[in-house]
Amino acid sequence: MDIKGSVALVTGGASGLGAATARRLFDAGASVVLADLGSSAGAAFAEELNSGAAASPLAGSETGPGNTAVFVPTDVTSEQEVQAAVDAAAALGPLRIVVNCAGIATPGKVLGRNGVLPLETFNRVIQVNLVGTFNVIRLAAAAMAATEPAATELGGEERGVIINTASVAAFDGQIGQPAYAASKGAVAAMTLPLARELARSLIRVVTIAPGIFETPMMAGLPPEAQDSLGRQVPHPSRLGRPAEYANLAAHIVDNAMLNGETIRLDGAIRMGPK
């Protein structure tokens, strides 16, 4: 699918992996809806993207105003707010690309120093990472299914692609990650059944499972801790960069044969117990 001229919805689009992906798609000529919490820097980021659009050779043409970035305050667990984000995307043109990057990584052992893990802590991680992702998928898929198919470069047609974010914790969950691993494992597990169902609507579904990446959550750690984590990656022996996630997302959009798969993006790391 051609990114240029498409409309993309990116959750968690104001920072980290989501912001890098939104920038990558925008720079390739897509209009982008940044769906993130109202407390995020989404409005400022949308303004930044739009202010640079005039300087981009992909931003416009002789016959149209070019692509644009829009921020829509969104809690992915809210049906109304996600629907508003989907509607904002549809107002820009046919929604073709959805990238789910919104998520939280609240740690907690089942039997911690302060007692048993509160059920509300476990529920919150599941609600945001799993239910929130599915909430976006179902509403975005409905909008995609109502669009006219677009021709692909190597033959055939498709209406869109949905890219989800799991984690290597889905497979190598560490001590203190029962909620996070469960939520990300479920995202990986629903990838194939979703791809099989939505195939009839010409919609692809692919999941990326990142390893240890430079994200706002990681930025809270001391530099020495970040360096230590980076050295655990076999090659390249460093933290992953958000642009590398964004490049894979862009390739998934471009490559119509990528469907129903969870792709590890982790430098060959396999996480230890702790």
Domain presence at residue 232: no
pLDDT over 90 (residue 220): no
SS3 label, residue 205: strand
* Residue 217 near residue 128 (C-beta atoms within 8 A): no
From 73, 59, 93, select the one nearest 12 (Cα to Cα). 73
Q: Domains in the chain: how many in total? A: 1
Structural domain includes residue 163 = yes
pLDDT of 56 > 60? The answer is: no
CATH code of the domain in which 132 resides: 3.40.50.720
Note if the pTM is more than 0.85.
Answer: yes
Q: Is 235 helix (H, G, I), strand (E, B) or coil?
A: coil
* 221 within a domain of the structure (yes/no): no
- Sign of the Cα pseudo-torsion (9, 14, 18, 21, in order): positive
Q: How far apart are the first and last CA of the chain?
A: 40
Residue 230 falls inside a structural domain? no
State yes or no: pLDDT of 267 exceeds 80: yes
Parallel/antiparallel/unpaired status of strands 31-36 and 7-11: parallel
Over 70: is that where the pLDDT of 175 sits?
Answer: yes
The answer to whether the Cα torsion of 191, 195, 201, 203 is positive or negative is positive
Residue 223 lies in a domain: no
Residue 219, pLDDT score: 77
Burial class (CB in 10 A: 0-12, 13-18, 19+), 80: exposed
| Residue 244 counted as domain residue | yes
Q: Shortest CA distance to 101 belongs to which of 194, 220, 209?
A: 209
Residue 104 lies in a domain: yes
Per-residue pLDDT reduced to its tens digit, 103-139? 999 999 999 999 999 999 999 999 999 999 999 999 9
Supply the range of the domain harboring residue 14: 7-214+240-265
Q: Which residues are catalytic?
A: 180
Decide if 19 is inside a domain: yes
